[in-house]
């Protein structure tokens, strides 16, 4: 492969598209993500290879595969591209009103009330911005953030440290037990196995399910179960029908108002409480001003829709259910 004149500058766009193609293994996927044509993406990659004088991809393979030199080149530029994204974010820290595109992801916990209000607020605050909203599991949203398919998200914080993303804890959301109102047995009797009432669980692939199971193992609680579901509303419907009991959180419980007359929420077990953390997570290149805007609005919405009502109706929640400074 002939080497072009060394005076031709290396294009930042070419480097970014190379990184995207290396991740996705597809020109078409990279073109769709970047909003470009396949031929434009191909041109950028060919120009980059000609500039370097090496083949970065084995173009005969599908999906596209990096050559050994391509793998080395990718490792060497990833840190530089991350630094550039951080620098761009710092430079645009005060330009919320001029933002042109924002991709926001959330878990479904808030899609009935909080996220619609957030969407209206952001639309008014960022009048020239085009928005894309995505609802999914915390795990899937994290992957989308890491692959630069989202800019910012509200999720259940994972147990591991997010070294490659920026995260801000927002809310401590404690785990609570929910029982059918008609049951005569106490929570301690049910947990200690003195009842045939099964534990209705979240689907095991969800982050919240893994957190619950980990804590149950830690405190030595085992319970029979016959039902798993990824949807909190369905779990609440099953509990209301007397089919079992479940472990959820006040934030999730607040979304099941239609079932509240037929269920009871309890502190899980005295001295054995545990919680999930809801966090605002963003890519390093997301504008700090946008992060601050979403952060402050989400805190107000949490306070209005969940914290204030529950602290009135269920004062036993106390400081276990609170905003995190």
Q: 187-238 pLDDT, tens per residue? A: 888 877 777 888 999 998 888 998 888 888 887 877 766 788 888 899 999 9
Instruction: Please provide the CATH number assigned to the domain covering 176-273.
Output: 3.40.190.10
Name the pLDDT band for 171 (thresholds 50, 70, 90).
Answer: very high
Q: Where are the domains of the chain?
A: 12-91, 98-169+278-320, 176-273
Give me the helix-helix angle, 114-125 and 288-302, nearest 10°: 140
Q: Omega before 63 cis (within 30°)?
A: yes
Domains 98-169+278-320 and 176-273 share a fold: yes
CATH 3.40.50.1370 describes domain 98-169+278-320: no
Which pLDDT score, from 0 to 100, does residue 323 have?
Answer: 96
Q: Where are the alpha helices (DSSP H) in the chain?
A: 12-24, 27-34, 38-52, 68-91, 114-125, 138-146, 187-191, 207-218, 232-240, 250-253, 288-302, 308-313
Q: How far is CA 306 from the centre of its chain?
A: 20
Cβ(279)–Cβ(154) below 8 Å? yes
Name the pLDDT band for 293 (thresholds 50, 70, 90).
Answer: very high
- Cα(67)–Cα(63) distance, integer angstroms: 13
Which pLDDT score, from 0 to 100, does residue 5 have?
Answer: 43
| 57 C-beta neighbours (distance < 10 Å), count | 19
HSE-up of residue 123 (Cα within 13 Å, Cβ side): 9
**Hunting for tokens 């989400």 — which residue is that?**
298
What are the structure tokens assigned to 6, written together?
Answer: 């060394």
> What average pLDDT does the segment 299-309 reach?
94
Name the pLDDT band for 284 (thresholds 50, 70, 90).
Answer: confident
pLDDT(89) > 60: no
Residue 59 CB partners (closer than 8 Å, separation 6+): none
Which pLDDT score, from 0 to 100, does residue 289 have?
Answer: 87
- How does strand 65-66 pair with strand 227-229? unpaired
The model's pLDDT over 309-325, given as tens digits with 9 standing for 90+, comes to 999 999 999 899 999 98
- Cα(268)–Cα(275) distance, integer angstroms: 10
Is-above-0.95 flag for pTM?
no
Higher-scoring residue by pLDDT: 36, 114: 114
What are the structure tokens assigned to 85, written together?
Answer: 């994204």
Q: How does the average pLDDT of the chain come out, rounded?
A: 86
- Cα(284)–Cα(119) distance, integer angstroms: 22
Instruction: Tell me which of 163-172, 248-257, 265-274 is least confident.
Output: 265-274
Q: How far is CA 277 from the centre of its chain?
A: 12
> What average pLDDT does the segment 111-121 reach?
88
Cβ(283)–Cβ(145) below 8 Å? yes
> What average pLDDT does the segment 278-298 reach?
91
- Cα(212)–Cα(217) distance, integer angstroms: 9
Which pLDDT score, from 0 to 100, does residue 148 have?
Answer: 84
- Cα(221)–Cα(212) distance, integer angstroms: 11
CATH 1.10.10.10 describes domain 12-91: yes
Which pLDDT score, from 0 to 100, does residue 200 have?
Answer: 93
Which pLDDT score, from 0 to 100, does residue 4 have?
Answer: 42
Cβ(104)–Cβ(247) below 8 Å? no
Cβ(179)–Cβ(263) below 8 Å? yes
Q: Which helix (H) or strand (E) holds 200?
A: strand 199-202
Name the pLDDT band for 6 (thresholds 50, 70, 90).
Answer: very low
pLDDT(153) > 90: yes
Closest by Cα among 230, 224, 219, 228 to 252: 230
- Cα(258)–Cα(307) distance, integer angstroms: 19
């Amino acid at each position: 492969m002939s080497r072009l004149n060394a005076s031709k500058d290396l294009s930042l766009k070419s480097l970014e598209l190379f990184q995207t193609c290396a991740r996705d293994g597809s020109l078409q996927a990279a073109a769709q993500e970047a909003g470009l044509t396949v031929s434009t993406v191909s041109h950028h990659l060919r120009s980059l290879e000609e500039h370097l004088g090496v083949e970065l991809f084995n173009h005969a393979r599908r999906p596209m595969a990096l050559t050994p030199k391509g793998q080395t080149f990718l490792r060497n530029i990833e840190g530089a591209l991350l630094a550039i994204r951080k620098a761009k974010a710092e430079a645009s820290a005060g330009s919320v009103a001029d933002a042109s595109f924002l991709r926001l992801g959330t878990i479904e916990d808030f899609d009935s009330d909080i996220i619609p209000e957030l969407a209206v607020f952001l639309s008014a605050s960022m009048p020239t911005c085009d928005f894309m909203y995505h609802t999914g599991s915390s795990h899937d949203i994290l992957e989308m953030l890491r692959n630069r398919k989202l800019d910012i998200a509200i999720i259940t914080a994972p147990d591991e440290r997010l070294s490659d993303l920026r995260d801000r804890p927002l809310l401590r959301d404690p785990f609570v037990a929910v029982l059918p109102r008609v049951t005569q047995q106490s929570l301690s009797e049910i947990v200690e196995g003195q009842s045939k009432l099964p534990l209705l669980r979240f689907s095991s692939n969800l982050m919240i399910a893994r957190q619950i199971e980990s804590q149950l193992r830690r405190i030595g609680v085992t319970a029979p179960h016959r039902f798993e579901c990824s949807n909190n509303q369905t779990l609440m419907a099953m509990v209301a029908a007397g089919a079992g009991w479940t472990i959820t959180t006040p934030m999730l419980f607040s979304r099941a108002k239609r079932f509240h007359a037929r269920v009871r929420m309890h502190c899980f077990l005295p001295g054995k409480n545990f919680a999930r953390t809801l966090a605002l997570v963003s890519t390093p290149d997301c504008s700090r001003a946008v992060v601050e805007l979403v952060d402050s609005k989400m805190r107000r919405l949490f306070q209005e829709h969940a914290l204030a009502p529950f602290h009135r109706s269920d004062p036993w929640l106390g400081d276990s259910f609170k905003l995190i400074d």
